[in-house]
Chain A
Amino acid sequence: MSEQNGQTRVKVENLQKLFPISKGLFRKSTDFVYAVDGISFEIKEGESLGLVGESGCGKTTTGRVLVKLEDATGGQAFVHNSDRDEMIDVMDVESPEDRKEFRKHVQMIFQDPYESMNPRRTIYDIVAEPLKVHNLGTTEEKEQRVVDLLRLVGLTPPEPFLFRYPHELSGGQRQRVAIARALVMEPTFVVADEPTSMLDVSIRISIMRLMLELAEKLGVTYLYITHDLAVARYMCDKIAVMYLGKIVEMAPTEELLSNPMHPYTRALLSAVPVPDPSYQRPQVEIEGGVARAINPPDECRFIERCPFAVDECKTAHPNLFDRGNDHLVACYLVAPDGSWTGRERAKLELRS
């Protein structure tokens, strides 16, 4: 775990991504899925932020927007350019040259190591591709760089791997190759989208160890996207919980786990299975599954599943603000000092 007071590496302000729902060829779409709706966060040097939530909450879309696989429909995002020590405006990255330059600093590791590699290219081609694109080094230098990286990600001895194809490797080895490919340009910022969820227990652990080690060694900053809070606990300094396109709670990892404030975070935490048969879990307070955020009305996004909702929750989606200890929550029922007011508020409403 690293120091909190480093330089800002990633800054996201009010990021928004809407997907139009197709109505047919000639009709203009008026319905939108609010996949990511006005989220803001900052990641400091060497720190990693976990983006956690159920499927459909917008966590993957956020990651894809930040690596420019999708274009945002609103808001701003900046990523640090370590060569020039300045921030790159992600929204300004448009031309092929810009994108090329951008990819030196920002990379992504995908969930499925079986589908994120060209089956007809050798491991050497896959890892060396960014070097070829940027025309860096002679053939010997490239080869040396690839060998070094394969060794770094634990594929040892590296030489026999160079001219193998992805199908000859196991899932864990492929994910190591994907990590090597992401790191070959020495990026400042890596978006890791569920990099271990397809892997088996023992292999998952070794990939998690590897990613932590590399973060320390190379000073990489991760945005770690996962549905698994237990994994996030190990990989991230800070966790942001998303629900229907909004960040509903964000805090340093242990603070969030020991003192969850938002009703959704509390439900999520009490539903996580615990590898301890003697553990008495708290009751899960909410029911139902995640809805889709199609043209959501101006009210708290969580209102439908929230067992504590009061009238104020229907007014607008609450703002995310700090309740002390760098603990941000978006809920009307959490007082500015972080205390829970749900019960009193419900009583007040009953009386009136």
Chain B
Amino acid sequence: MTDIQTRAAEGGLGTERSHSEVPILEVKNLVMNYEIKAGMVSAVEDVSFTLPKGHSLGLVGESGCGKTSVALTLMRLAAANARVLGGEVRLDGENLLELNDEEMRQRRWDDISMVFQGAMNSWNPVYTVGEQIREAMDLHWEPRPSAAEARAKTEELFQLVGLNPEMIDRYPHEFSGGMKQRAVIAMALSCDPKLIIADEPTTALDVIVQEQILEELRKIQHEFGMSIIYISHDIAVIAEITDLMGVMYAGKLVEFGDTVDIFARPRHPYSWLILSSTPSITGPRRQLAPLEGEPPNLLDPPSGCRFHPRCPFATQKCTDEEPPLEEVEPGHKIACWNYEQVPVGILAEAE
């Protein structure tokens, strides 16, 4: 058995839902701002969610909605001007925000690893891919792996992500884009993390290659019970690979729940508009929803609900008071005062 399988077996992980055990990740009331000359940018505002072991969670939203900021805060890798103003990030029960830098350094890769956006372009061209993966293992394995151990592990990982193990000794320029991305995923798995964060793992890849990579990630999650957080602006990708999803808008989590439930019946007006108007090659042609305007400037976010200036259901209350994220059905949370106004299901085009 591989280490990943052992770990999965010990944890009793599987693909079935078991919400009772300690979740792998619990984020509570996370608040993070970026300090810039002009003031504080409210990038992540009071975000809370829970990811049970062995599940995949998708965070969707437009650029600047805070999805990558959430991920970087979890990794404690946010930019130097990032200020975490409150909240907890519990990985397997342990609050990462209370660790000192050295302790956090040890958790990274070991316990929580990240596939960064565009990581496939950050391979160092003068070392072989194998050497670069070895470096991560040397720094994080206890004890340090022997050359043979490292080799065996890398070969196993290469097979897992669908790469020929002979490629270990090749240089990055000999890899295609899709192969580089597979190698990045192999590297993220090299220290047997408990949780992987994948930030736009397939953006910039062609669809056929994208489908292959998503398939590998799906396999890693289902076969090994890996917990994965996906960050993507592509709603269709989130539909394909996650069991839970959170929709973010302007730094706030506005809807959270089971992916199937949310796609069947998005309840927040923003999710409803976005999901309704995502172009699809299947089903009836949908109406392209009239979502006018642009996301707000987070230096000075709108009062009350941050979506109210663009919301077709907004009332005076939305301008005045901020809606809390509340459970409206078991496991399905939304932050909206007027969610009952949102039509059931998505818009279909009457042609």
Contact B273 A208 (CB under 8 A): no
Q: Which B-chain residue is minimally distant from A173 (CB atoms)? A: B294
Contact B209 A275 (CB under 8 A): no
B68 within 8 A of A: no
Cβ contacts under 8 Å, A273 to chain B: 207, 210-211, 214, 234, 236-237, 239-240
Q: Looking at the complex, which one of B207, B283, B285 makes contact with A272 (CB distance below 8 Å)?
A: B207
Q: Looking at the complex, which one of A202, A234, A284, A289 makes contact with B273 (CB distance below 8 Å)?
A: A202
Contact B206 A55 (CB under 8 A): yes
The total of chain B residues at the interface (CB under 8 A) is 42
Q: Which B-chain residue is minimally distant from A256 (CB atoms)? A: B281
Contact B240 A205 (CB under 8 A): no
Contact B278 A277 (CB under 8 A): no
Stretch of A3-11, A97-105, A119-127, A263-271 on the interface side: A263-271
Contact A272 B206 (CB under 8 A): no
* Residues of A228-272 whose CB lies within 8 A of B: 228-231, 233-234, 257, 267-272
Cβ contacts under 8 Å, A276 to chain B: 239, 263, 280, 282-283
* Residues of A105-158 whose CB lies within 8 A of B: none
Contact B292 A206 (CB under 8 A): yes
Contact A274 B239 (CB under 8 A): yes
Cβ contacts under 8 Å, B207 to chain A: 54, 227, 229, 268, 271-273
Q: Looking at the complex, which one of B206, B233, B234 makes contact with A290 (CB distance below 8 Å)?
A: B206
Q: Looking at the complex, which one of A54, A206, A208, A257 makes contact with B206 (CB distance below 8 Å)?
A: A54
A209 within 8 A of B: yes
The total of Cβ contacts below 8 Å across the A-B interface reads 115
Cβ contacts under 8 Å, A2 to chain B: none
- CA A283 – CA B38 in complex, angstroms? 52
B289 within 8 A of A: yes
Contact A274 B281 (CB under 8 A): yes
**Interface readout for B274-291 with A: 1 if CB under 8 Å, 0 if not?**
110111111101001111
Cβ contacts under 8 Å, A173 to chain B: 294
B62 within 8 A of A: yes
Contact B233 A274 (CB under 8 A): no
Cβ contacts under 8 Å, B209 to chain A: 289
The total of chain A residues at the interface (CB under 8 A) is 39
Max count, chain A CB within 10 A of own CB: residue among B176, B206, B214, B240: B206
A352 within 8 A of B: no
Contact B279 A233 (CB under 8 A): yes
CB distance from B115 to the nearest CB of A (A): 18
CB distance from B175 to the nearest CB of A (A): 11
**Interface readout for A271-298 with B: 1 if CB under 8 Å, 0 if not?**
1111111110000101101100000000
- CA A279 – CA B63 in complex, angstroms? 27
Q: Which A-chain residue is minimally distant from B209 (CB atoms)? A: A289
- CA A112 – CA B70 in complex, angstroms? 27
Q: Looking at the complex, which one of A55, A170, A172, A257 makes contact with B281 (CB distance below 8 Å)?
A: A257
- CA A206 – CA B277 in complex, angstroms? 10
CB distance from B27 to the nearest CB of A (A): 23
CB distance from A200 to the nearest CB of B (A): 4
Contact A268 B208 (CB under 8 A): yes
A201 within 8 A of B: yes
- CA A206 – CA B293 in complex, angstroms? 9
**Interface readout for A201-225 with B: 1 if CB under 8 Å, 0 if not?**
1110110110000000000000000
Given A200-B63, A257-B281, A289-B176, also A271-B210 (CB < 8 A): yes
Given A200-B62, A275-B278, also A284-B288 (CB < 8 A): no
Contact A172 B294 (CB under 8 A): yes
Contact B281 A278 (CB under 8 A): no
Q: Which A-chain residue is minimally distant from B236 (CB atoms)? A: A273
B235 within 8 A of A: yes
- CA A206 – CA B233 in complex, angstroms? 16
Cβ contacts under 8 Å, A170 to chain B: 294
Contact A202 B236 (CB under 8 A): no
Given A55-B206, A201-B278, A205-B288, also A277-B211 (CB < 8 A): no
Given A202-B291, A209-B288, A289-B178, also A229-B281 (CB < 8 A): yes
Given A208-B288, A231-B279, also A289-B206 (CB < 8 A): yes
Contact A274 B208 (CB under 8 A): no
- CA A249 – CA B329 in complex, angstroms? 47
- CA A208 – CA B289 in complex, angstroms? 11
- CA A278 – CA B292 in complex, angstroms? 29
B259 within 8 A of A: yes
* Residues of B262-308 whose CB lies within 8 A of A: 263-264, 273-275, 277-283, 285, 288-292, 294-295
B15 within 8 A of A: no
Cβ contacts under 8 Å, A268 to chain B: 207-208
Given A233-B279, A257-B281, also A201-B208 (CB < 8 A): no
Cβ contacts under 8 Å, B282 to chain A: 274, 276, 279
**Interface readout for B157-194 with A: 1 if CB under 8 Å, 0 if not?**
00000000000000000001110000000000000000
Cβ contacts under 8 Å, B235 to chain A: 201, 275
Q: Which A-chain residue is minimally distant from B162 (CB atoms)? A: A287
Name 20 interchain pairs, CB-CB below 8 A, sorted by A: A54-B207, A54-B208, A173-B294, A200-B62, A201-B278, A205-B289, A206-B291, A209-B290, A229-B281, A230-B281, A268-B207, A270-B211, A271-B208, A272-B281, A273-B210, A275-B278, A278-B263, A279-B239, A284-B211, A289-B208
Q: Measuring CB to CB, which residues of chain B are less than 8 angstroms from any residue of chain A?
A: 62-63, 176-178, 206-212, 214, 233-237, 239-240, 259-260, 263-264, 273-275, 277-283, 285, 288-292, 294-295
Additional A-B contact list (10), CB under 8 Å, known A202-B62, A273-B236: A172-B294, A201-B235, A208-B288, A227-B207, A229-B281, A233-B285, A234-B285, A270-B211, A271-B208, A289-B208
Q: Measuring CB to CB, which residues of chain A are less than 8 angstroms from any residue of chain B?
A: 54-55, 170, 172-173, 200-203, 205-206, 208-209, 227-231, 233-234, 257, 267-279, 284, 286-287, 289-290
